[in-house]
Amino acid sequence: MAELHELSAVELRGSLRNGDVSAAHVAAHFLARIEQRNPLLGAFITVTADQAMAEAGAADARRSGTAREELPVLHGMPLAFKDLTDVAGVVTTHGSAALEHKPAPADAPLVALMKDAGVVCLGKTQVPEFGLTAYSENRIAPPSRNPHAPSRSSGGSSGGSAAAVAAGLLPFAPGTDGGGSVRIPAAACGLVGLKPGRGLVPAGESQGDPARLVVPGPLARSAADAALLLDAMVPGGGYLRAIGQEPPRLRIGVTLDSPWSGTYPFTPEREALDALEAGERLLAHAGHAVADAAVRYDNRYPEAFTTAWTAGVGAARISPQREALLAPLTRTFRRRAQQRSPAKLAEALAFLRKFQQDTVAQYAQWDLMLMPALAQTPRPVGWFTGTAHGGDRWPAAQWPGDADGDYRRQCEFAPWSSMVNVCGLPAISVPVHWTGTAPGQGLPMGIQLVGQPGSELLLLQVARQLGF
């Protein structure tokens, strides 16, 4: 008989709804998993065991007087939130040593939505400072590590959540994605990661986000599990019910073009191209028409995106005497954002709107666009910051200050993600390839499929059709 953490999220949800297992038993099981494995993985910053057991007990009490069909969609399911998201009574660190760490007075809208869906919150997961980077390392807690190779990063900014799901510390998890922050860690950890289109899940949008880049989305071990979590994020969406329907025959355009290549020329690693080829084979075998597609991107994109992406950190409320505690990348981008005029930000936002129109028009020639999820294998912990050493923390004085080199390495690592946020389109990362000699061996590598507006269900159906 499978252990609870080996069940799919759909199976675990069924067991909870049927009364085969109690929410308290499930919570205790996953808390024990976290206690056992988190010291190595660094997936959680904060574990709220007492609060979780109290919530699980309340869920069991509700179930005793509630008909099965009236239970909330995620009754008793264990969950955790990125430590960028407020959970009432729990400290939100934002991954930063520069902030005072006080318990949040109220739940963020996404947390409130998930609690209404019946979840039991186990804690807060590791993030980069203010969610800025494609790796989940900061100065306040051990880095989040990849369960498939602990010397490697789990990606970012939803890296702690992805590591927790991949290691069986959670059945699935909500992430947020402003430039790849669901899809990057999903690809690094061998998960399905869905970035919904802009506006589908308004509960997860960020206030310090003038370009409306950030959307919440599910991290899961299968497309069906992702559909279940999306059903909670979009009440009445019916994604799990419809995911088994076969998608129509699709025209899929394959591209390696990136809006970053003019500023940061890069060469995809062989493993990234292997994943792309594996994706093409699977899609063709499923009956889809796969062909090369050329995409033209405006070379002014990198500067405009960076301006919009870093505007929020420039406005963050940080006392001057604590700014020295910021990581070098954060401190550099904060200073530059504060030095920009409002007119410069407005100009960047206007450009990104035009970029969206141009890019969406090119993508519209195809039903889906296909590209690698990442250009490189999951990077060693400390690789982006130049602190690759295998330890947990570095004193502030020892962190290299090469913020621009750090940012360039991130853009070369994940050159196909941020423009999807600018365009507001849905996209999914699917783990089609492993670098070892057999599935599950070596490091995972994924593909990204980008859909037309409103194609979240189609993307989930295609991922399921491919066997995920």
CA angle 236, 117, 450 (to 5 degrees): 55
Q: Domain-by-domain residue ranges, the chain?
A: 4-465
Tokens 């007119």 correspond to what residue? 343
157 among known catalytic residues = yes
- Supply the pLDDT for residue 5: 98
Flag whether pLDDT at 311 surpasses 50.
yes
* DSSP letters for 297-363: --TTHHHHHHHHHTHHHHHS---GGGGGGS-HHHHHHHHHHHHS-HHHHHHHHHHHHHHHHHHHHHH
Count other Cβ atoms within 10 Å, centred on residue 244.
11
pLDDT of residue 397: 46
> What is the residue whose two structure tokens read 């954060």?
330
With vertex at residue 77, the alpha carbon angle to CA 71 and CA 80, rounded to the nearest 5 degrees, is 135
What would the pLDDT profile of 101-110 be if each residue is shown by its tens digit? Answer: 999 999 999 9
SS (H, E, C) 229-283: HHHHHCCCCCHHHHCCCCCCCCEEEECCCCCCCCCCCCCCCHHHHHHHHHHHHHH
Read off the pLDDT of residues 115-169 as tens digits, 9 standing for 90 and up: 999 999 999 999 999 999 999 999 999 999 999 999 999 999 999 999 999 999 9
Cα distance from N-terminal residue to C-terminal residue, the chain: 22
Using a pLDDT cut of 70, give the percent of the chain over it: 97
Amino acid at 331: R
Superfamily in which the 4-465 domain is placed by CATH: Amidase signature (AS) domain (3.90.1300.10)
102 catalytic? Reply is no
Report which of residues 389 and 42 the model is more confident about. 42
The band of 203, judged by pLDDT with boundaries at 50, 70 and 90, is: confident
**Catalytic hit among 82, 115, 124, 195:** 82
- Sign of the torsion formed by the C-alpha atoms of 80, 86, 91 and 96: positive
pLDDT tens digits along 380-407: 999 999 877 544 444 444 456 689 999 9
Edge-to-edge strand ranges of the sheet holding 120-125: 44-47, 120-125, 78-82
pTM of the predicted model, to two decimals? 0.96
Closest CA to 263 of 61, 408, 47: 408
Mean pLDDT of the chain: 95
Hey, is 72 helix, strand or coil?
A: coil
Asked if 438 and 463 count as a contact pair (C-beta separation under 8 A), the reply is no
CB contact burial 54-93 (16+ within 10 A = b; e otherwise) = ebbeebbebbeeeeeeebbbbbbbbbbbbbbbbbeebbbb
- Cα distance between residue 207 and residue 304, in whole Å: 19
Q: State residue 65's pLDDT score.
A: 78
136, 157, 222, 417: which one is catalytic? 157
What average pLDDT does the segment 348-371 reach?
98
Judged by DSSP in three states, 63 sits in: helix
Return the number of other C-beta atoms located less than 10 Å from residue 173's C-beta.
29
Is 82 one of the catalytic residues? yes
The reported pLDDT for the residue numbered 389 is 54
CA dist 4 and 158 (Å) reads: 23
Residue of 96, 144, 153, 181 marked active site: 181
Closest residue by Cα to residue 165 from 102, 221, 209, 227: 221
pLDDT at residue number 392? 46
Q: Per-residue pLDDT averaged across 217-242, rounded?
A: 98
- Average of pLDDT values for 360-379? 98
